Amino acid sequence: MALILASTNIMTARIAAGCFILALLVVLFIAKNWTLRGLCIGFIIFLAVIWVLQEKTTVRILRYAILFIGVMNSLFSVYDIYDDLISRRVNSSDAEKFAEVCPCPCNGVAWGVIWGMISFIFLCGSMYLGLVILS
């Protein structure tokens, strides 16, 4: 949600890109395998090239790259909730564990539906707020 809203202004897109690059650098040094390190290096180079193009040429693509990353992150969140908690039932999932602790009569699938709806509402709300800010 934050990346979607940060893409509405060039200054906030720069801040979001800087924070994202910083987070990727932290993960780069913490990562235990080379696949994750390679992905981090690739995304750092990708964002750095886009940022340099933003500053040195008339191409203004950084906002759209941050928007794309934010929307894809939110969409994957909704899909991952569906895949892990709704479409297949795993007794060791966090939704099942939460259903055991929670006093209401919901099972893990019901909590997956609730969490999926909350995630989708946040996705739609952030896209709506982004459009309102842009207009």
DSSP string for 17-74: HHHHHHHHHHHHHH-SSHHHHHHHHHHHHHHHHHHHHHHHSS---HHHHHHHHHHHHH
Tokens matching residue 71: 């929307």
Q: What is the pLDDT along the chain (135 residues), one digit of tens a residue?
A: 899 999 988 999 999 999 999 999 999 999 999 999 999 999 999 999 999 999 999 888 999 999 999 999 999 999 998 888 888 777 777 788 888 888 888 888 888 899 999 999 999 999 999 889 887
Q: Say how many C-beta atoms besides its own lie within 10 A of residue 69's C-beta.
A: 20
Maximal C-alpha separation, the chain: 59
**pLDDT score for 110:** 87
In Å, what is the CA distance from 26 to each residue of 29, 37, 114, 132? 6, 10, 32, 34
**pLDDT score for 121:** 95
